[in-house]
Amino acid sequence: MTDYGSLTVSILAASLPLTMPILYASIGEVYAEKSGVLNMGIEGVMSLAAFVSLWVTYSTGSYFYGLLAGIGAGMAMGLFHSFATVKIGINQLIAGLMLYSLALAIGDFGYVIATKKVVPYVRPLSPVHLPVLSGLPVIGPVLFKQNLLVYLSFAVAVIMGLILYKTTWGLKIRAVGENPEAADSAGVNVNLVRHLCVILGGTLAGLAGASLVLGYLGLYATGDTLVAGRGWIAIVVVIFARWSPYKAIAGAWVFGLGYSIAAVFIGSGVFSSLGTASGYLLLAVPYVFAIVFILLFHRGTKSPSSLTVPYKRR
Amino acid sequence: MERRHAVSTTIVAIVVIAVLVVAAIAIAIALPSFASTKTVTIVPTTSSSTSTASQYKLALLVGGDVTDDGLNDQGVQVANWIASTYGWTVSVSQDVAYSSQGALMTSYAQQGYNVIWADGNQFIGTTEAIAAQFPNVKFIMTPTYDGDNLTKNVVALSAGNQATGYYLAGVLSGKMTKTGSVGVVIGQWFTALSLEFYAYKAGVHSANPNAKVYLSVPGTWSDPTIGNTVAMTMINTDHCDILVPIADTTGLGVIAAATTTNTTLIGTVLDQVVLSPTDMMTSVLLNMTAFIQPVIQHIIAGTWSQIGGKVQDLNLGSLGPFHNFDSVIPTSVKTLLAQTAAQMGALIGNGTMPFTYTPNPPTSP
């Protein structure tokens, strides 16, 4: 007899770690796009950062160094993308897809070379049980028995939202994305802001990849099967979230919840009586959620006015 | 001033593009998976066989790459063994996408490769079609085939060839489970995997009639994150203390979840202890060489007609070493496994070791 109460708690608890990498990546992309630069390479950057953080953690035994290395790899890829798109003015879509292929290939290359006879695995970070709160029924195991990187992802989203909407820095970023000429006349260095935002986006994509390894799986897989489309989903979340870090929390969680429902139902065999189709149907749940959200929230969706438009000072 | 700026930007752009092109070429050479398919050709420097060895050129196609430590890795190992043992020229193509299968096989056939080995069930339809177009090229299909569309130039391996190994793994699991619940994760439900699952289940129940055998079929071979969460649910909700992933990259997530929770694992195809040195109890090995070697020898001897167009019905499954669990598994269990392995022919004969197939996976116990 299926215990639907404990199944619901399992689904909700599993949804937050599945939300984490999508949330990190989407917040970074919010910043990049708010400044006017699209980065389609997130998926590859996440994959590269995942390998780098795994390998450094495995080699040094330090999660901290591994996390820094993953962030560093993402930052380097962000720098590359900002150079290509902001400095040189390469078409952002093409540059992003190039970045995706390049970062993915470097990660896979490194993995194949580094793992001739050793398959690196690190034990994912253990959950931190917050005193008192973790003992609460239902919300205790859901919200307060997660690992540090999960807690950090939500904190980062809130902090980045505050910076974007409550500080002069945020105002400059939004101005650069909406009307770069006006921002320039007001003394804002448009391209510097864009460089920094794209690098920040890469950094958070790196953190997303590192979190997938250090906070969830503890391993790497080649051929883009590790990130498995979550970088692309992060780009979709940015649109759902209407370029807001706060709304990105909800958008990323919708997908995390969708993945969680699929995996927990598959694992518990709830719909196994439906036969082979049940797995395929359940794996479609996140995307069904996406379509529902698009239908619910498509009105009023407006991208930053100068998104994908390079800025050249006259 | 603007003109000078434009010129310098153009120069920078050219340099960056040049660097990217060089980097892309370097990566493409070093790791051709940067392109859709990774191909490596091995031309032996010395021939350990006869002077006619050079007339044989074998192409191996696999869907993934050697980092799976499973079927793809095994195929490449066996291909290398053919090159070194028989002096054949061997070309290995990894990461072969569905869309490139036909073009790649056709290309090999046109280049004079006289043996094409497609290792992976995803190649079956394409192999049947291409084999019909090149009757002078010999095709080998593994790991399993349950159709009836073989032309005279194709040899295939029957479904359920690992089933005996899974029956033994089931006996071991039935004896070693402490919770009385064990689980199998299968990427997608195919005939061959159906046979392996029911063999495993029968093995479990022969050793422990009250044990529960859970099954999850995620419907994907390539998402370790889903595999991880599926496994966590089987561990936490169903209390499975032994997991058997047969799910490629999705299975890596199962292995990660099991290692994190110190849940016992049983690997597949190759000895997969490298994927989880602490928790991999054993692996169900697939002795591919026992199938490939006679095929190669028939080709060399000119007796292909004895096997061409036929499905080879072989039992290639066995249990691998116990590694860390060698001291944990009681002698009585090892004795039982040895006795069961010795009686396998009789167990198959009397139906104790079943060859059961269902088009859909069974519901949970």
Q: What are B134-167's pLDDT values in tens digits? A: 999 999 999 988 888 899 999 999 888 999 999 9
Q: Could you tell me the strand order of the sheet in which B115-119 lies?
A: B38-42, B89-94, B57-62, B115-119, B138-145, B154-158, B311-312
Residues of A (280-309) whose Cβ lies below 8 Å from B:
280, 282-283
Residue A269, pLDDT above cutoff 60: yes
Instruction: Determine the Cα–Cα distance for residues B219 and B300; give it in Å rounded to an integer.
Output: 41
Considering chain A, what is the average pLDDT of its residues? 91
Determine the average pLDDT of the residues in A94-110: 94
The confidence score (pLDDT) of residue B97 equals: 86
ipTM: 0.83
Q: Is residue A307 part of a domain?
A: no
| Partner B contacted by A226 (CB < 8 A) | yes
Q: What is the DSSP string of B6-64?
A: HHHHHHHHHHHHHHHHHHHHHHHHH-GGGSS-EEEEE--SS-SS-GGGGG-EEEEEESS
Q: Residue B34 is nearest to which of A105, A226, A276, comparing CB atoms?
A: A105
Number of domains in chain A: 1
Q: Which residue has the higher pLDDT, A301 or B271?
A: B271
| Partner B contacted by A84 (CB < 8 A) | yes
Q: How far away is chain A from the Cα of B185, in angstroms, using its nearest Cα?
A: 9
- Cα–Cα nearest to A86, from A32, A165, A132, A43: A32
pTM to 2 decimal places: 0.82
Positions of E strands within chain A: 128-129, 145-146
Q: Is residue A125 part of a domain?
A: no
Q: Is residue A312 part of a domain?
A: no
The token pair that represents A74 in the structure block: 């993402």
> pLDDT tens digits, residue range B210-255?
999 999 999 888 889 999 999 999 999 899 999 999 998 899 999 9
Residues of chain A found within 8 Å of residue B222, distances taken between Cβ atoms: 221, 223, 225, 228
Q: Is residue A249 part of a domain?
A: yes
Report CB contact under 8 Å: A269, B363: yes
Report CB contact under 8 Å: A105, B30: no
| Residue A110: domain span | 4-116+147-297
Q: How far away is chain A from the Cα of B223, in angstroms, using its nearest Cα?
A: 6
Q: Which residue of A has its CA nearest to B7?
A: A88
Residues of chain A found within 8 Å of residue B360, distances taken between Cβ atoms: 275-276
The confidence score (pLDDT) of residue A5 equals: 81
Q: Is residue A304 part of a domain?
A: no
Residue B11, pLDDT above cutoff 60: no
Q: Is residue A210 part of a domain?
A: yes
Report CB contact under 8 Å: B188, A109: no
Determine the average pLDDT of the residues in B308-316: 92
The confidence score (pLDDT) of residue B34 equals: 34
B84 sits in which H/E element: helix B71-86
Q: Write the CA distances from A29 to A89, A231, B147, B280, B360, integer angstroms.
A: 18, 10, 49, 40, 42
The confidence score (pLDDT) of residue B220 equals: 86
| Partner B contacted by A94 (CB < 8 A) | no
In total, the C-beta contacts within 8 angstroms joining chain A to chain B are 174
The token pair that represents A32 in the structure block: 């990049």
Residue B309, pLDDT above cutoff 90: yes
Calculate helix-pair angle for A230-240, A4-34, nearest 10 degrees.
Answer: 80
| Partner B contacted by A64 (CB < 8 A) | no
Determine the average pLDDT of the residues in B187-199: 89
> pLDDT tens digits, residue range A280-289?
888 888 888 8
CATH number at residue A287: 1.10.3470
Q: Which residue of B has its CA nearest to A10?
A: B233
Residues of chain B found within 8 Å of residue A221, distances taken between Cβ atoms: 67, 222, 224, 249, 252
Lowest mean pLDDT among B135-149, B288-302, B348-362: B348-362
Q: Kindly state the percentage of chain A with pLDDT values over 70.
A: 97
Q: Residue B253 is nearest to which of A6, A217, A262, comparing CB atoms?
A: A217
Q: Is residue A206 part of a domain?
A: yes
> pLDDT tens digits, residue range B21-54?
555 555 444 443 333 455 656 555 444 444 455 6
Q: Residue A222 is nearest to which of B67, B219, B362, comparing CB atoms?
A: B67
Q: Is residue A293 part of a domain?
A: yes
